[in-house]
Structure 1
Amino acid sequence: MTDVLRRVGDKWTVLVVVLLGQRPHRFNDLHRGIAAISQRMLTRTLRGLEEDGLVHREVFATNPPSVEYRLTPLGTSLLEPLSALAEWAVKHQPTIAASRGVTDLQPRNT
């Protein structure tokens, strides 16, 4: 269970799954959609999601070859709990910020 939670709880995984939940994307589309992610980390994240059966990678025989990523049915089933978590975060952000003694929660470099 720990390795599954580690995968789906990773910040890059969440962002990739949310983007792919909107529509299939090519690698560069995903990279532009998540500006802070490096190409290497995006590649690692996509490979892990593919390995876990959450993402399907399709290679098209073009010159140069193009690759498209889309959620599998298992990946799509992850959207509902991620949406619930996002709603919880938005609802409780002011309380968490107050507990931290700040007025605005800014992403932290991790």
Structure 2
Amino acid sequence: MTNHKLMILASCAYGYIGKCQCCEKFNLVFNNQLFIFSEDDLRQFRRMVDDETTIFDAGDLCCNGRTMGMRTPMNNFYLMFTPKELAHFRNMLDDTFVMIEVNKVLQY
């Protein structure tokens, strides 16, 4: 396994998003989940989080207060959040895209 060095772009109490300087991939870690995205895929994922048809109120479907669900492109695979976690998740994604743009400006 190669030695990847992440530049952390945004973080919260539940995780972080960092960009690997050697492979240009973005690692999104949230609770016990790890997603690895290209920049385009991360942008598409952010659009999914904003899509009203993707996020739903799951009610008592899950335990631990995770009442908010997010549909994924995979059948029968959902991400579950407490309302507080979902707010942190969205904020972390927003902060990441601000930092992506800041870093692009700083490179010139």
TM bucket (normalised to shorter chain) is 0.3 to 0.5
Structure with the higher strand share, 1 or 2: 2
Q: Which has the larger radius of gyration?
A: 1
Structure with the higher helix share, 1 or 2: 1
TM-score (norm. length: structure 1): 0.34
